Amino acid sequence: MENIETLLAASKKPSLNAVIEQAKSVASLSADADMSEQGLGLLINKHLGTTKLDTTKWYEYTDLDKATEGPKKAVRQIQKAFYDALHIRAKEKAKMAGKSDEQVKKTKYSNPSTVWDRVKRHAKADIEGFNRLGERKEYSYKDKVIRGLWPVWNQIAKATNTTHEDMELQKRVAAFLQEISGKTAQSIKIDELGTTIKK
């Protein structure tokens, strides 16, 4: 069976059977990837001895790039190895697709943090029981406002080049979040918002 890159590079239209075979292959790879991401999340939980009683779980860590010791440093090392492997695989795929050496050198995996977030979600589901099959979450209007504003506050907090205007905005957003949630912006946990509904 030809791979997708070969079919896309060919000048002729692919047959329906070729597309169906690719759909089966992609579905299989997607299922394998999901199980692998889940397995990695569970493995990190096991390595760090993560329990529901921990005040801070590894999948809640922020500023990993600044981690210098303890479990946060271990998670940073795992994350870096994970990102590096994704970038290496992206380069291999670019080379297989016939890209020039210069293009291959510049190739990176487009968004490794998205894949890392899925690993963390699986780890969280293992410990806290969220995102179980057959469950969904409903959000009040207040929760929706918090879910909309908190990422803006957080992005400014992590930014390195902020203006005075940015900092003022962050203070106002933080004050509003505290007013409606009763919590400081730092202590809001977005994943805990909403009500879980069994389908």
For the beta carbon of residue 78, count every other beta carbon within 10 angstroms: 19
* pTM of the full structure: 0.57
**What would the pLDDT profile of 139-172 be if each residue is shown by its tens digit?**
889 988 998 898 888 888 888 888 999 899 999 9
CA distance 108 to 91: 7
Torsion angle, alpha carbons of 50, 54, 55, 60, to 10: 20
pLDDT at residue 120 is higher than 80 = yes
When pLDDT is cut at 50, 70 and 90, the band that residue 2 belongs to is: low
- Beta-carbon contacts of residue 140 (< 8 Å; ≥ 6 apart): 194
- Please report the pLDDT score of residue 199 as a whole number: 47
pLDDT, residue 182, reads 92
Q: How does the average pLDDT of the chain come out, rounded?
A: 84
Q: 130 and 116 in contact (C-beta within 8 Å)?
A: no
- Can you say whether the dihedral through the CA atoms of 111, 51, 73, 37 is positive or negative? negative
First to last CA, the chain: 40
- Number of CB atoms found within 10 A of residue 170's CB: 19
Task: State how far the Cα of 92 lies from the Cα of 69, in Å rounded to an integer.
Answer: 33
pLDDT in tens, 50-59: 888 888 889 9
* Residue 142, both tokens: 């207040």
Q: What is the average per-residue pLDDT within 98-108?
A: 90
What is the distance between the alpha carbons of residues 119 and 36, in angstroms, rounded to a whole number?
9
Of residues 169, 166, 55, the one with CA closest to residue 177: 169
